[in-house]
Amino acid sequence: MEIISINPATKETIGSVQTTSLEFIETVFDRAKEGAAEWANLRLTQRSRKIRLVRKMLVAHMDELSKLIAAETGKTNWDGFLEVFTTVEHMRHVSKHGPQYLRTEIRSPGILQNKKCYVNYVPHGVAGVISPWNYPLILTAAPVIEALMAGNAVVLKPSELTPLTGKLMTELFHEAGIPENVLQTVYGYGEIGAAIVDSPKTDMICFTGSVEVGRKIAVACAEKLKPVILELGGKDPMIILEDANLQRAAGAAVWGGFSNCGQTCISTERVYVVEKIADEFIELVKTKTEALYTGPDKVDGEIGALVSESQHEIVMAHINQAVESGADVVSGGESLSALGGYFIKPTVLEVQVDNTDIMQKETFGPEICIMRVKDEVDAVEKANSSGYGLSASVFTKNKKRGQKIARQIRAGSVCVNDVITNYITADLPFGGVGISGIGRVHGAEGLKSFCQTQAVLVDRFGLKKEPWWYPVNKKLQSFFRVFTRVFYG
């Protein structure tokens, strides 16, 4: 059976891959177990050098990768390039700092100075990585690289909507020197992903995708007590305070809401602007939005296509429901499917109620909803009203005020006077709270998520017995009681 890859901007066939049979999956897992044993024996610096070679290989093929990403997803060539850029920056960081983050850490033995204590970061074994379609390179390569740096073998399943990017990435990894049994890629639909999750031969799972599928994976892993990282959806709020730089804030809203056609888990979907400056801000957003070109021109265009017909229908349904519920259309709002692909004109809505799908559910399309608020207290309350908690942003000229508000927002990441850039910053951990997921990728925390934390204690002097071993005489018991009163009291 073949998976056909379609260009969403033209609806033309790009290519295809053969699906992996469920019968063959067991062979894949067996090979992965063998690969994991060999790979884990490499020193951290050896793994780092191999990852550096992979990075150089991707840079050498960046034009090919950028164009393929753009073709499979419908995004522009510039968006495709930015994905390659972000990927190689993460690889640079992991190869440079991975050995430092994962080296053995000496810990204090406390009062037991006759002991030596330390922590090892030990690979789980075989990591199952299930990646999405919206960023088919970075959201695939980043967890794969972190799993490899930590010493795991990887069984990867790319999205069925973007299999060719996953295939090319895997080929480049192998060409750069990653053994074929250390990174294996399988292709298919939900049943292949379920096989990766359910197999007793995968030791951990990293999934990026929808809340609905993430819940099922969480339950399956919980039953097996299998470690899992879930990077799920977002409904990210942006707060614009009365003292914000409005030109920068409006530009950030337009970039954060429309980049990759809004198909970004940390896309700006809800904007809360203080009433005092709302009119000026909304007018700036309107002007910047209407200057954007949407369509099949991948070279000079800014906004590409949605990934599929079903995604196009979801976004239009959210927009139409919001308008029916009283939202004012500031700009856009109509389908541009007459251009030949799954296009929607970038849409800015001013909303008065927050109980519609477009304010409660992840829309994942080129839309921004703006709501007026009384003050920062009102803004924070509304920002925290969603079950999602992936990312957020705050705009104010007072940076201390912005950072104070950031601590009040229920989100895994917060940008002050910026948007989305936290994802490009490879040393920052990334992940959500609430229904946006569990666990972290990126940074030291992300690398350690792909490891077991092993605590080791070593006796230094080799005495015949410890003071508390049997038999314990009465004088020693009395000494410990006195010592506890004096030392801890």
Catalytic (active site) residue 231: yes
Main-chain phi, psi angles of 466, to 5 degrees:
-85, 155
User: Which helix H or strand E contains 185, and what residues bound it?
Assistant: strand 183-185
From the CB of residue 171, how many other CB atoms can be counted at a distance below 10 Å? Answer: 13
Tokens found for residue 185 = 């890629």
- Pairing mode, strands 126-130 and 115-123: unpaired
Tokens found for residue 242 = 């009365």
Burial 367-388 (b: 16+ CB within 10 A, else e): bbbbbbbeebebbbebbeebeb
CB 271 within 8 A of CB 246: no
Rounded CA-CA distance 466/114 in Å is 10
CB 19 within 8 A of CB 3: yes
Give the position of tokens 């990077």. Answer: 231
CA angle 172, 137, 47 (to 5 degrees): 55
Alpha-carbon separation of residue 188 from 168, 191, 310, 403, 442 (angstroms): 16, 7, 19, 44, 27
Per DSSP, the three-state class of 341 is coil
Q: Catalytic pick from 83, 160, 231, 376? A: 231
Burial 278-293 (b: 16+ CB within 10 A, else e): beebbebbbebbeebe
In angstroms, how far is the first alpha carbon of the chain from the final one? 72
Tokens found for residue 156 = 């990867």
Rounded CA-CA distance 101/93 in Å is 11
Burial 431-470 (b: 16+ CB within 10 A, else e): bbebbbbbbbbbbbbbbbbbbeeeeeeeeeeeeeeeeeee
Q: Catalytic pick from 206, 221, 261, 265? A: 265
Rounded CA-CA distance 393/378 in Å is 15
Catalytic (active site) residue 265: yes
Residues annotated as catalytic (active site), given as ranges: 231, 265
